[in-house]
Structure 1
Amino acid sequence: MRVFAHRGYSGLYPENTMLAFDKAREAGCKAMELDVHLSKDGELVIIHDEMLDRTTNAKGLVCSHTLAELQAFNAGTEEQFQAIPSLDTYCRWAKQHGIFTNVEIKTNLIYYPGIEEKVLALLEKYNLIEQTLISSFNHGSVIRMRQLCESMQCAFLVGGRGLANVGSYAKNFKVEYYHPDGAFLTKAAVDECKDQGVGVNVWTIDDLGLLHKMITWNVDGVFTNHCAPVLALLGEKHA
Protein backbone atom coordinates (compact mmCIF):
# COMPACT_ATOMS: atom_id res chain seq x y z
CA MET A 1 0.00 0.00 0.00
CA ARG A 2 1.35 3.41 -0.97
CA VAL A 3 1.29 6.08 1.75
CA PHE A 4 0.97 9.67 0.56
CA ALA A 5 2.00 12.41 2.98
CA HIS A 6 -1.03 14.70 2.63
CA ARG A 7 0.32 18.21 1.94
CA GLY A 8 3.56 16.81 3.37
CA TYR A 9 3.79 15.91 7.05
CA SER A 10 0.96 18.35 7.69
CA GLY A 11 -0.06 16.87 11.02
CA LEU A 12 3.12 18.28 12.59
CA TYR A 13 4.44 20.92 10.18
CA PRO A 14 2.97 23.77 8.11
CA GLU A 15 1.13 22.19 5.20
CA ASN A 16 2.38 22.34 1.62
CA THR A 17 5.77 23.76 2.61
CA MET A 18 9.16 22.34 1.73
CA LEU A 19 9.67 21.76 5.46
CA ALA A 20 6.58 19.52 5.59
CA PHE A 21 7.67 17.59 2.51
CA ASP A 22 11.19 17.06 3.78
CA LYS A 23 9.99 15.99 7.25
CA ALA A 24 7.69 13.42 5.61
CA ARG A 25 10.64 12.11 3.64
CA GLU A 26 12.73 11.89 6.79
CA ALA A 27 9.91 9.91 8.41
CA GLY A 28 10.21 7.35 5.61
CA CYS A 29 7.42 8.49 3.30
CA LYS A 30 8.26 8.12 -0.39
CA ALA A 31 5.09 9.69 -1.79
CA MET A 32 3.71 13.21 -1.34
CA GLU A 33 0.42 14.91 -2.12
CA LEU A 34 0.27 18.61 -2.92
CA ASP A 35 -2.07 21.24 -4.38
CA VAL A 36 -1.32 23.56 -7.28
CA HIS A 37 -2.69 26.98 -8.27
CA LEU A 38 -1.51 29.64 -10.72
CA SER A 39 -0.07 32.98 -9.62
CA LYS A 40 -0.99 36.31 -11.22
CA ASP A 41 2.02 36.00 -13.51
CA GLY A 42 1.18 32.43 -14.51
CA GLU A 43 3.56 30.51 -12.26
CA LEU A 44 2.62 27.19 -10.60
CA VAL A 45 2.52 27.53 -6.81
CA ILE A 46 1.86 24.99 -4.06
CA ILE A 47 -0.93 25.97 -1.69
CA HIS A 48 -4.26 24.34 -0.86
CA ASP A 49 -6.79 27.16 -0.69
CA GLU A 50 -7.72 29.72 -3.31
CA MET A 51 -7.33 32.29 -0.52
CA LEU A 52 -4.13 33.05 1.38
CA ASP A 53 -5.88 33.74 4.70
CA ARG A 54 -5.87 30.30 6.38
CA THR A 55 -2.30 29.14 5.77
CA THR A 56 -0.24 32.34 5.45
CA ASN A 57 0.18 35.74 7.08
CA ALA A 58 -1.43 37.40 4.05
CA LYS A 59 -4.99 37.82 2.80
CA GLY A 60 -6.75 37.66 -0.55
CA LEU A 61 -6.69 35.43 -3.60
CA VAL A 62 -3.57 33.50 -4.56
CA CYS A 63 -4.16 34.44 -8.20
CA SER A 64 -4.11 38.16 -7.36
CA HIS A 65 -0.37 38.03 -6.56
CA THR A 66 2.79 37.37 -8.55
CA LEU A 67 5.13 34.53 -7.64
CA ALA A 68 7.59 37.00 -6.09
CA GLU A 69 4.84 38.51 -3.95
CA LEU A 70 3.56 35.10 -2.87
CA GLN A 71 7.02 33.92 -1.86
CA ALA A 72 7.41 36.94 0.41
CA PHE A 73 4.43 35.76 2.48
CA ASN A 74 4.97 33.39 5.40
CA ALA A 75 3.36 29.95 5.08
CA GLY A 76 5.22 28.73 8.17
CA THR A 77 5.08 29.78 11.81
CA GLU A 78 6.04 32.92 13.70
CA GLU A 79 9.22 31.13 14.74
CA GLN A 80 10.15 29.73 11.34
CA PHE A 81 9.48 31.40 8.00
CA GLN A 82 8.43 29.14 5.14
CA ALA A 83 7.83 30.48 1.65
CA ILE A 84 4.96 29.26 -0.52
CA PRO A 85 6.85 26.83 -2.77
CA SER A 86 6.77 26.96 -6.52
CA LEU A 87 6.10 23.64 -8.22
CA ASP A 88 9.44 24.07 -9.97
CA THR A 89 11.27 24.12 -6.63
CA TYR A 90 9.36 21.04 -5.48
CA CYS A 91 10.08 19.14 -8.70
CA ARG A 92 13.82 19.69 -8.33
CA TRP A 93 13.59 18.33 -4.78
CA ALA A 94 11.40 15.36 -5.78
CA LYS A 95 13.77 14.43 -8.59
CA GLN A 96 16.74 14.57 -6.23
CA HIS A 97 15.11 12.29 -3.66
CA GLY A 98 13.15 9.92 -5.91
CA ILE A 99 9.75 10.99 -4.57
CA PHE A 100 6.44 9.94 -6.11
CA THR A 101 3.96 12.82 -6.19
CA ASN A 102 0.20 13.26 -6.42
CA VAL A 103 -0.31 16.71 -7.93
CA GLU A 104 -3.84 17.92 -7.25
CA ILE A 105 -4.83 20.58 -9.78
CA LYS A 106 -7.04 23.04 -7.91
CA THR A 107 -9.48 24.12 -10.59
CA ASN A 108 -12.74 23.15 -8.91
CA LEU A 109 -13.52 26.70 -7.68
CA ILE A 110 -11.36 28.92 -9.91
CA TYR A 111 -10.41 27.64 -13.34
CA TYR A 112 -6.92 28.63 -14.47
CA PRO A 113 -6.80 28.39 -18.29
CA GLY A 114 -3.75 26.43 -19.43
CA ILE A 115 -2.78 25.10 -15.99
CA GLU A 116 -2.78 21.50 -17.19
CA GLU A 117 -0.32 22.32 -19.99
CA LYS A 118 1.93 24.18 -17.55
CA VAL A 119 1.96 21.26 -15.09
CA LEU A 120 2.77 18.80 -17.86
CA ALA A 121 5.60 20.98 -19.24
CA LEU A 122 7.22 21.19 -15.81
CA LEU A 123 6.96 17.45 -15.21
CA GLU A 124 8.51 16.83 -18.63
CA LYS A 125 11.30 19.30 -17.82
CA TYR A 126 12.32 17.23 -14.79
CA ASN A 127 11.48 13.85 -16.37
CA LEU A 128 8.90 13.15 -13.65
CA ILE A 129 5.98 11.82 -15.70
CA GLU A 130 6.38 8.25 -14.39
CA GLN A 131 6.72 9.50 -10.80
CA THR A 132 3.55 11.60 -10.85
CA LEU A 133 -0.17 11.08 -10.44
CA ILE A 134 -2.54 13.89 -11.45
CA SER A 135 -5.85 14.35 -9.61
CA SER A 136 -8.58 16.96 -9.33
CA PHE A 137 -12.12 17.46 -8.10
CA ASN A 138 -12.61 19.14 -11.48
CA HIS A 139 -12.79 16.04 -13.65
CA GLY A 140 -12.47 18.25 -16.71
CA SER A 141 -8.87 18.98 -15.67
CA VAL A 142 -8.17 15.26 -15.28
CA ILE A 143 -9.65 14.49 -18.69
CA ARG A 144 -7.66 17.37 -20.22
CA MET A 145 -4.44 15.94 -18.76
CA ARG A 146 -5.31 12.53 -20.14
CA GLN A 147 -5.75 14.13 -23.59
CA LEU A 148 -2.39 15.90 -23.29
CA CYS A 149 -0.41 12.88 -22.09
CA GLU A 150 -1.59 9.31 -22.53
CA SER A 151 1.15 7.96 -20.26
CA MET A 152 0.27 10.22 -17.30
CA GLN A 153 -1.36 8.43 -14.37
CA CYS A 154 -4.61 10.20 -13.48
CA ALA A 155 -7.27 10.08 -10.76
CA PHE A 156 -10.79 11.37 -10.23
CA LEU A 157 -11.11 13.03 -6.82
CA VAL A 158 -14.59 12.75 -5.31
CA GLY A 159 -15.93 14.07 -2.01
CA GLY A 160 -18.80 12.99 0.23
CA ARG A 161 -20.48 9.72 -0.64
CA GLY A 162 -18.75 9.48 -3.99
CA LEU A 163 -20.25 8.31 -7.27
CA ALA A 164 -22.24 5.26 -8.25
CA ASN A 165 -20.44 2.86 -10.61
CA VAL A 166 -17.32 4.98 -10.30
CA GLY A 167 -15.06 2.19 -11.53
CA SER A 168 -16.92 2.08 -14.83
CA TYR A 169 -16.91 5.88 -14.97
CA ALA A 170 -13.14 6.09 -14.50
CA LYS A 171 -12.46 3.24 -16.93
CA ASN A 172 -14.59 4.97 -19.59
CA PHE A 173 -12.23 7.97 -19.48
CA LYS A 174 -9.11 5.77 -19.21
CA VAL A 175 -8.43 7.17 -15.73
CA GLU A 176 -6.43 4.78 -13.57
CA TYR A 177 -7.46 5.78 -10.04
CA TYR A 178 -10.39 6.80 -7.88
CA HIS A 179 -9.68 9.04 -4.86
CA PRO A 180 -12.64 8.90 -2.42
CA ASP A 181 -13.25 10.22 1.08
CA GLY A 182 -12.48 7.36 3.45
CA ALA A 183 -15.22 8.42 5.87
CA PHE A 184 -17.87 7.46 3.30
CA LEU A 185 -16.14 4.76 1.26
CA THR A 186 -17.79 1.34 1.05
CA LYS A 187 -16.26 -2.04 0.30
CA ALA A 188 -18.72 -2.38 -2.57
CA ALA A 189 -17.24 0.72 -4.22
CA VAL A 190 -13.71 -0.64 -3.79
CA ASP A 191 -14.73 -4.00 -5.22
CA GLU A 192 -16.44 -2.35 -8.21
CA CYS A 193 -13.30 -0.36 -8.95
CA LYS A 194 -11.16 -3.49 -8.69
CA ASP A 195 -13.49 -5.31 -11.07
CA GLN A 196 -12.95 -2.52 -13.61
CA GLY A 197 -9.17 -2.42 -13.12
CA VAL A 198 -9.29 0.97 -11.39
CA GLY A 199 -7.07 1.60 -8.36
CA VAL A 200 -8.32 3.22 -5.14
CA ASN A 201 -6.34 5.75 -3.08
CA VAL A 202 -8.26 6.98 -0.04
CA TRP A 203 -8.20 10.32 1.80
CA THR A 204 -7.60 11.35 4.57
CA ILE A 205 -6.68 8.41 6.80
CA ASP A 206 -5.39 9.56 10.19
CA ASP A 207 -7.45 7.17 12.32
CA LEU A 208 -5.63 3.84 12.67
CA GLY A 209 -8.93 1.97 13.04
CA LEU A 210 -10.00 3.27 9.64
CA LEU A 211 -6.57 2.35 8.30
CA HIS A 212 -7.14 -1.26 9.45
CA LYS A 213 -10.36 -1.27 7.40
CA MET A 214 -8.55 0.07 4.34
CA ILE A 215 -5.93 -2.67 4.69
CA THR A 216 -8.69 -5.30 4.88
CA TRP A 217 -10.36 -3.85 1.79
CA ASN A 218 -7.03 -3.97 -0.07
CA VAL A 219 -7.01 -0.37 -1.27
CA ASP A 220 -3.99 0.73 -3.24
CA GLY A 221 -3.02 3.77 -1.20
CA VAL A 222 -3.95 6.17 1.56
CA PHE A 223 -3.39 9.88 2.15
CA THR A 224 -2.54 10.87 5.70
CA ASN A 225 -1.51 13.94 7.69
CA HIS A 226 0.43 11.69 10.09
CA CYS A 227 2.66 9.54 7.94
CA ALA A 228 4.96 8.15 10.66
CA PRO A 229 2.31 6.18 12.66
CA VAL A 230 0.64 5.01 9.44
CA LEU A 231 3.95 3.78 8.05
CA ALA A 232 4.73 2.12 11.39
CA LEU A 233 1.43 0.24 11.45
CA LEU A 234 1.80 -0.85 7.84
CA GLY A 235 5.31 -2.00 8.61
CA GLU A 236 4.00 -4.20 11.41
CA LYS A 237 1.29 -5.62 9.14
CA HIS A 238 3.73 -6.40 6.37
CA ALA A 239 6.16 -7.94 8.83
Structure 2
Amino acid sequence: MNKTMKIFAHRGFSGRYPQNTMLAFQKALESGCDGIELDVQLTKDGEVVIIHDEYLDDLTDFTGNVRDYTLGELKSCNAGGKWQEVYGFQPIPTFEEYCEWASGNSLITNVEIKSSVYYYEELEKKTMELIGRFGLKERIIISSFNHLSALSCKDFMPDMKTGALVGNGGIANAGYYCKKFGFECYHPGVEGLTKEEVELCHKNGIEVNVWTINNMDDLENLYEWGCDGVITNYPDVCKSWLKAKKAKG
Protein backbone atom coordinates (compact mmCIF):
# COMPACT_ATOMS: atom_id res chain seq x y z
CA MET A 1 0.00 0.00 0.00
CA ASN A 2 1.02 3.63 -0.49
CA LYS A 3 0.28 5.91 2.43
CA THR A 4 1.26 8.93 0.33
CA MET A 5 -1.42 8.35 -2.34
CA LYS A 6 -2.54 11.71 -3.72
CA ILE A 7 -6.10 12.82 -4.37
CA PHE A 8 -6.71 14.79 -7.58
CA ALA A 9 -10.01 16.60 -8.16
CA HIS A 10 -11.29 15.62 -11.62
CA ARG A 11 -12.00 18.83 -13.53
CA GLY A 12 -12.07 20.43 -10.10
CA PHE A 13 -14.72 19.39 -7.59
CA SER A 14 -16.92 18.27 -10.49
CA GLY A 15 -19.17 16.01 -8.43
CA ARG A 16 -20.81 19.03 -6.80
CA TYR A 17 -19.84 22.10 -8.84
CA PRO A 18 -19.67 23.03 -12.55
CA GLN A 19 -16.67 21.18 -13.99
CA ASN A 20 -13.54 23.04 -15.11
CA THR A 21 -14.67 26.35 -13.63
CA MET A 22 -12.85 28.52 -11.12
CA LEU A 23 -15.64 27.74 -8.64
CA ALA A 24 -14.94 24.01 -8.97
CA PHE A 25 -11.19 24.62 -8.58
CA GLN A 26 -11.64 26.77 -5.48
CA LYS A 27 -13.96 24.20 -3.89
CA ALA A 28 -11.44 21.47 -4.70
CA LEU A 29 -8.77 23.44 -2.87
CA GLU A 30 -11.10 23.85 0.12
CA SER A 31 -11.73 20.08 0.14
CA GLY A 32 -8.11 19.47 1.12
CA CYS A 33 -7.18 17.55 -2.03
CA ASP A 34 -3.60 17.34 -3.26
CA GLY A 35 -4.17 18.35 -6.84
CA ILE A 36 -6.51 19.24 -9.69
CA GLU A 37 -6.98 17.65 -13.09
CA LEU A 38 -8.10 19.95 -15.91
CA ASP A 39 -8.27 20.13 -19.71
CA VAL A 40 -6.92 22.77 -22.10
CA GLN A 41 -7.83 23.75 -25.65
CA LEU A 42 -7.32 26.77 -27.91
CA THR A 43 -9.83 29.42 -28.96
CA LYS A 44 -10.15 30.74 -32.51
CA ASP A 45 -7.77 33.57 -31.62
CA GLY A 46 -5.22 31.25 -30.01
CA GLU A 47 -5.94 31.67 -26.29
CA VAL A 48 -5.59 28.68 -23.95
CA VAL A 49 -8.90 27.93 -22.24
CA ILE A 50 -10.01 25.26 -19.78
CA ILE A 51 -12.82 23.04 -21.02
CA HIS A 52 -13.20 19.29 -21.51
CA ASP A 53 -15.35 18.73 -24.60
CA GLU A 54 -14.15 19.94 -27.99
CA TYR A 55 -17.71 21.04 -28.67
CA LEU A 56 -19.80 23.31 -26.47
CA ASP A 57 -23.28 21.82 -26.71
CA ASP A 58 -23.29 19.49 -23.70
CA LEU A 59 -21.51 21.63 -21.10
CA THR A 60 -22.54 25.20 -21.97
CA ASP A 61 -25.32 27.34 -23.42
CA PHE A 62 -23.40 27.67 -26.72
CA THR A 63 -23.30 25.30 -29.68
CA GLY A 64 -20.44 24.36 -31.99
CA ASN A 65 -16.73 23.86 -31.42
CA VAL A 66 -14.47 25.63 -28.94
CA ARG A 67 -12.01 26.38 -31.76
CA ASP A 68 -14.64 28.33 -33.73
CA TYR A 69 -15.05 31.07 -31.10
CA THR A 70 -12.74 33.84 -29.95
CA LEU A 71 -11.96 34.24 -26.26
CA GLY A 72 -14.15 37.33 -26.14
CA GLU A 73 -17.07 35.37 -27.52
CA LEU A 74 -16.51 32.44 -25.18
CA LYS A 75 -16.42 34.71 -22.14
CA SER A 76 -20.16 35.28 -22.58
CA CYS A 77 -20.73 31.51 -22.59
CA ASN A 78 -22.11 29.93 -19.40
CA ALA A 79 -20.09 26.86 -18.45
CA GLY A 80 -22.40 26.06 -15.54
CA GLY A 81 -23.74 22.98 -17.29
CA LYS A 82 -26.37 21.14 -15.27
CA TRP A 83 -25.58 23.41 -12.30
CA GLN A 84 -26.65 26.67 -13.97
CA GLU A 85 -29.80 27.07 -11.90
CA VAL A 86 -27.84 26.50 -8.68
CA TYR A 87 -24.66 28.50 -9.25
CA GLY A 88 -25.67 30.95 -11.97
CA PHE A 89 -23.26 32.20 -14.60
CA GLN A 90 -19.88 30.45 -14.61
CA PRO A 91 -17.43 31.63 -17.29
CA ILE A 92 -14.99 29.38 -19.11
CA PRO A 93 -11.63 30.15 -17.45
CA THR A 94 -8.44 30.84 -19.32
CA PHE A 95 -5.43 28.78 -18.37
CA GLU A 96 -3.69 32.05 -17.56
CA GLU A 97 -6.37 32.84 -14.97
CA TYR A 98 -5.93 29.40 -13.48
CA CYS A 99 -2.13 29.68 -13.35
CA GLU A 100 -2.36 33.01 -11.56
CA TRP A 101 -4.70 31.43 -9.01
CA ALA A 102 -2.56 28.27 -8.68
CA SER A 103 0.57 30.32 -8.04
CA GLY A 104 -1.01 31.30 -4.73
CA ASN A 105 -1.48 27.75 -3.42
CA SER A 106 0.44 24.48 -3.28
CA LEU A 107 -1.77 22.23 -5.41
CA ILE A 108 -0.38 19.91 -8.07
CA THR A 109 -2.05 20.36 -11.46
CA ASN A 110 -2.52 17.58 -13.99
CA VAL A 111 -2.96 19.43 -17.29
CA GLU A 112 -4.56 17.29 -19.99
CA ILE A 113 -3.70 18.49 -23.48
CA LYS A 114 -6.85 17.98 -25.55
CA SER A 115 -5.29 17.15 -28.89
CA SER A 116 -6.49 13.65 -29.74
CA VAL A 117 -9.78 14.64 -31.46
CA TYR A 118 -8.61 17.90 -33.05
CA TYR A 119 -4.93 18.81 -33.13
CA TYR A 120 -4.46 22.41 -32.05
CA GLU A 121 -1.39 24.10 -33.48
CA GLU A 122 0.84 25.55 -30.73
CA LEU A 123 -1.37 24.36 -27.86
CA GLU A 124 1.61 22.67 -26.22
CA LYS A 125 3.86 25.70 -26.69
CA LYS A 126 1.34 28.18 -25.32
CA THR A 127 0.47 25.96 -22.38
CA MET A 128 4.12 25.54 -21.46
CA GLU A 129 4.78 29.27 -21.79
CA LEU A 130 2.09 29.99 -19.21
CA ILE A 131 3.41 27.31 -16.86
CA GLY A 132 6.86 28.85 -17.14
CA ARG A 133 5.65 32.42 -16.70
CA PHE A 134 3.95 31.60 -13.41
CA GLY A 135 6.72 29.33 -12.13
CA LEU A 136 4.52 26.26 -11.82
CA LYS A 137 6.73 23.66 -13.49
CA GLU A 138 7.50 21.75 -10.29
CA ARG A 139 3.78 21.30 -9.57
CA ILE A 140 2.60 20.26 -13.05
CA ILE A 141 1.99 16.92 -14.75
CA ILE A 142 1.24 17.08 -18.48
CA SER A 143 -0.93 14.25 -19.81
CA SER A 144 -2.76 13.49 -23.03
CA PHE A 145 -4.41 10.65 -24.91
CA ASN A 146 -2.20 11.90 -27.74
CA HIS A 147 1.10 10.68 -26.35
CA LEU A 148 3.17 12.53 -28.95
CA SER A 149 1.49 15.74 -27.86
CA ALA A 150 2.37 15.19 -24.20
CA LEU A 151 5.97 14.28 -24.96
CA SER A 152 6.37 17.28 -27.26
CA CYS A 153 5.98 19.50 -24.20
CA LYS A 154 9.47 18.36 -23.25
CA ASP A 155 10.73 20.30 -26.29
CA PHE A 156 9.95 23.43 -24.28
CA MET A 157 10.81 22.08 -20.80
CA PRO A 158 12.94 18.92 -21.05
CA ASP A 159 12.35 17.95 -17.42
CA MET A 160 8.58 18.45 -17.52
CA LYS A 161 6.75 15.58 -15.83
CA THR A 162 4.44 13.77 -18.26
CA GLY A 163 1.80 11.06 -18.03
CA ALA A 164 0.66 8.55 -20.65
CA LEU A 165 -3.12 8.86 -20.49
CA VAL A 166 -5.04 5.78 -21.64
CA GLY A 167 -8.59 4.49 -21.52
CA ASN A 168 -10.03 1.53 -19.69
CA GLY A 169 -8.04 -1.56 -20.58
CA GLY A 170 -4.82 0.42 -20.70
CA ILE A 171 -1.61 -0.71 -22.35
CA ALA A 172 -0.06 -4.08 -21.59
CA ASN A 173 3.50 -3.74 -20.24
CA ALA A 174 2.80 -0.08 -19.54
CA GLY A 175 5.76 0.36 -17.22
CA TYR A 176 8.25 -0.55 -19.91
CA TYR A 177 6.36 1.54 -22.47
CA CYS A 178 6.45 4.66 -20.28
CA LYS A 179 10.11 4.20 -19.37
CA LYS A 180 11.13 3.62 -22.99
CA PHE A 181 9.43 6.72 -24.35
CA GLY A 182 10.15 9.08 -21.46
CA PHE A 183 6.92 9.27 -19.47
CA GLU A 184 7.27 9.60 -15.71
CA CYS A 185 3.64 8.61 -15.07
CA TYR A 186 0.99 6.20 -16.31
CA HIS A 187 -2.63 7.41 -16.19
CA PRO A 188 -5.02 4.50 -16.87
CA GLY A 189 -8.77 4.22 -16.51
CA VAL A 190 -9.63 2.10 -13.49
CA GLU A 191 -11.52 -0.62 -15.37
CA GLY A 192 -9.18 -3.44 -16.29
CA LEU A 193 -6.24 -2.20 -14.23
CA THR A 194 -4.57 -4.92 -12.17
CA LYS A 195 -2.28 -5.02 -9.17
CA GLU A 196 0.34 -6.71 -11.34
CA GLU A 197 0.32 -3.84 -13.84
CA VAL A 198 0.78 -1.32 -11.03
CA GLU A 199 3.70 -3.35 -9.69
CA LEU A 200 5.32 -3.53 -13.13
CA CYS A 201 5.04 0.24 -13.48
CA HIS A 202 6.68 0.76 -10.12
CA LYS A 203 9.47 -1.65 -11.01
CA ASN A 204 10.19 0.60 -13.98
CA GLY A 205 10.11 3.72 -11.80
CA ILE A 206 6.76 4.91 -13.18
CA GLU A 207 4.10 6.58 -11.04
CA VAL A 208 0.49 5.39 -11.45
CA ASN A 209 -2.40 7.88 -11.25
CA VAL A 210 -5.80 6.35 -11.97
CA TRP A 211 -9.10 7.86 -13.20
CA THR A 212 -12.02 8.28 -12.44
CA ILE A 213 -12.45 6.93 -8.90
CA ASN A 214 -15.97 7.51 -7.58
CA ASN A 215 -16.66 4.40 -5.50
CA MET A 216 -15.06 3.14 -2.34
CA ASP A 217 -14.22 -0.36 -3.57
CA ASP A 218 -12.03 1.06 -6.33
CA LEU A 219 -10.44 3.53 -3.93
CA GLU A 220 -9.57 0.82 -1.41
CA ASN A 221 -8.16 -1.49 -4.09
CA LEU A 222 -5.93 1.20 -5.55
CA TYR A 223 -4.71 2.17 -2.10
CA GLU A 224 -3.83 -1.42 -1.30
CA TRP A 225 -2.08 -1.79 -4.67
CA GLY A 226 0.12 1.20 -3.87
CA CYS A 227 -1.12 3.56 -6.59
CA ASP A 228 0.44 7.00 -6.42
CA GLY A 229 -2.71 8.99 -7.11
CA VAL A 230 -6.42 8.81 -7.88
CA ILE A 231 -8.49 11.26 -9.89
CA THR A 232 -12.02 11.68 -8.54
CA ASN A 233 -15.14 13.81 -8.86
CA TYR A 234 -15.46 13.73 -5.05
CA PRO A 235 -12.13 14.79 -3.56
CA ASP A 236 -13.66 15.47 -0.14
CA VAL A 237 -14.91 11.90 0.26
CA CYS A 238 -11.67 10.37 -0.96
CA LYS A 239 -9.53 12.62 1.20
CA SER A 240 -11.59 11.90 4.31
CA TRP A 241 -11.39 8.14 3.66
CA LEU A 242 -7.64 8.34 3.16
CA LYS A 243 -7.14 10.27 6.40
CA ALA A 244 -9.17 7.69 8.30
CA LYS A 245 -7.20 4.88 6.69
CA LYS A 246 -3.88 6.43 7.67
CA ALA A 247 -5.10 7.03 11.22
CA LYS A 248 -5.76 3.30 11.62
CA GLY A 249 -2.16 2.60 10.66
How high is the TM-score relative to the length of structure 1? 0.98
CA offset digits 1:120-169 (Å, max 9, x no partner): 10000000000100000000111211233122110000002111111111
Aligned-residue offset at 1:73: 0.3
CA distance in 2, matches of 1:181, 1:64: 30
2:69 matched residue in structure 1: 65
CA distance in 2, matches of 1:46, 1:53: 15
Query: Where do 1:162-181 residues align within 5 Å?
Result: 162-181=170-189
Q: Does 1:151 align with 2:151?
A: no
Q: Aligned match of 1:89 in 97, 110, 123?
A: 97
Query: Where do 1:34-113 residues align within 5 Å?
Result: 34-76=38-80, 77-79=84-86, 80-113=88-121
Q: Does 1:184 align with 2:188?
A: no
CA distance in 2, matches of 1:153, 1:96: 21
CA offset digits 1:87-116 (Å, max 9, x no partner): 000000111122210000000100001111
Q: Does 1:128 align with 2:145?
A: no
CA distance in 2, matches of 1:48, 1:197: 30
CA distance in 1, matches of 2:180, 2:171: 14
Task: Indicate the larger mover: 87-96 or 144-153.
Answer: 144-153
2:8 matched residue in structure 1: 4
Aligned-residue offset at 1:223: 0.1
Q: Aligned match of 1:140 in 148, 159, 163?
A: 148
CA distance in 2, matches of 1:184, 1:32: 24
Task: Indicate the larger mover: 145-154 or 59-68.
Answer: 145-154
Q: Output the amino acid matched with 1:48.
A: H
2:20 matched residue in structure 1: 16
CA offset digits 1:45-78 (Å, max 9, x no partner): 0000000011101110000000111111001113
Q: Taking CA–CA contacts closer than 8 Å with sequence separation of 6 or more, which of the two structures ends up with the larger relative contact order? A: 2
Q: Output the amino acid matched with 2:63.
A: K
Q: Output the amino acid matched with 1:182.
A: V
Where structure 2 has 5 or more consecutive residues not aligned to the other structure, the ranges are none
Q: Output the amino acid matched with 2:44.
A: K
Q: Output the amino acid matched with 1:29.
A: C
Where structure 1 has 5 or more consecutive residues not aligned to the other structure, the ranges are none
Q: Output the amino acid matched with 1:159.
A: G
CA distance in 1, matches of 2:219, 2:29: 20
Structure 2 residue matching 1:78: 3-state secondary structure: helix
CA distance in 1, matches of 2:38, 2:191: 21
- Which 4+ residue blocks in structure 1 deviate beyond 2 angstroms? none
CA distance in 2, matches of 1:220, 1:97: 21
Q: Does 1:211 align with 2:215?
A: no
Percent identity over the alignment is 48
CA distance in 1, matches of 2:155, 2:198: 26
CA distance in 2, matches of 1:103, 1:96: 17
Task: Indicate the larger mover: 145-154 or 18-27.
Answer: 145-154
CA distance in 2, matches of 1:198, 1:237: 24
Structure 1 residue matching 2:155: 3-state secondary structure: helix
CA distance in 2, matches of 1:107, 1:127: 24
